[in-house]
Amino acid sequence: MSVERPEGEVDGLGAGEDPRRIVVIGAAGGIGRVLVKSLRGGGHDVVALDLQASLDRHPPDVAAIPIDVLSQDAIDAAAAAVADAGRPLDGLVNLAGYSHGVMALAETGIEAFDDTVAGNMRGVFLATKALLPLMARDASIVLVSSGLAHFIRPGHGAYAASKAGVIALAKTFALECAPSIRVNAVAPGPVQTAFLTGGTGRSDEDQASIVAVEQLATTVPLGRIAQPRDVVGPIEFLLGPQSGFMTGQVLWVNGGAYMP
């Protein structure tokens, strides 16, 4: 017999572990809010980074710093603000990302393509690079990719390419930062958040879903698409000591829809 866990509640990172200082980029998004709440519940010191509009829409109950991953200056300013606290970072999670919707690759305009790559891959590169000097020894970085990075579907070409790039970045950072810092990735399938309806901070979150959720759920062996807590658990696992011998790895979180 199973017991339903309330929405947004997951097991905390490393129960009983010493408190850690963790930066979450994209903290005001659907997954980010659940992650921040769970980390805080575990007694950890969380710094929330997101677009100012996202932080205004969903103000976190932790220290918050605005960031725009499209801007090198904004990233550098956010990193400087994080550094001002003085204490090294034990963890970094980068959830930032967005899509311009579903369209054939041959019909995708150059502006939409460049913006997608800039937001999903270039921003991850710049933000990780900026925060690396602040990471403590034995820190853990978790980058968030997508199942579409390998499980290619029509209409998601630019997004899939950018998220495949995130996996390449994670593996490269893992090699180059070893043995002092671990770097892994989580690659979810569709998650029931505002990402599907316009994105947090970039819209009113009321656009038509970019996927047919009910239809898609019928193709998933576990019978539904992911909820934020389904992704938070793997992220916390990769942040914590239980994954201490893992680096350069990808956890696919999709209810069995894709089995690499």
CATH number, residue 211: 3.40.50.720
Give SS3 for 171.
helix
The total number of structural domains that make up the chain: 1
In a domain, residue 233? The reply is: yes
CA of residue 24 relative to chain centroid, distance:
8
- Provide the pLDDT for residue 117: 96
Looking at residue 207, what is its pLDDT? Answer: 52
Q: Compute the C-alpha angle 99/236/68, nearest 5°.
A: 35
Please give the structure tokens belonging to residue 30.
């659907």
Q: What is the pLDDT at residue 9?
A: 46
At residue 208, what is the residue type?
A
> Of 42, 97, 159, 170, which residue is the catalytic one?
159
Block mean pLDDT (10 aa), the chain, length 260: 42 65 96 97 97 96 97 98 93 93 94 96 98 98 95 92 98 98 96 60 55 78 93 98 98 92
Identify whether 41 is part of a domain.
Answer: yes
- The pLDDT, as a whole number, for residue 64 is 98
Strand ranges, E, within 108-229: 135-144, 181-188
Is 3 inside a domain boundary? no
**Would 200 be classed as within a structural domain?**
yes
Q: Residue 124 CB: number of other CB atoms within 10 A?
A: 26
Residue type, 89: L
| 106 lies in some domain | yes
**241 is a domain residue:** yes
pLDDT at 99: 86
State whether residue 55 is helix, strand or coil: helix
Q: What are phi and psi of 167, to 5 degrees?
A: -65, -40
Angle at 251 between CA 246 and CA 254, to 5 degrees: 165
Model-level pTM greater than 0.85? yes
| 14 within a domain of the structure (yes/no) | no
Find all residues with CB under 8 Å of 140, minimum gap 6, and list them: 90, 91, 92, 181, 182, 183, 184, 238, 239, 240, 243
- Give me the pLDDT at residue 5, please: 39
The boundaries of the domain holding residue 208 are 21-253
Known active-site residue 98: no
- Locus of tokens 């009910």: 214
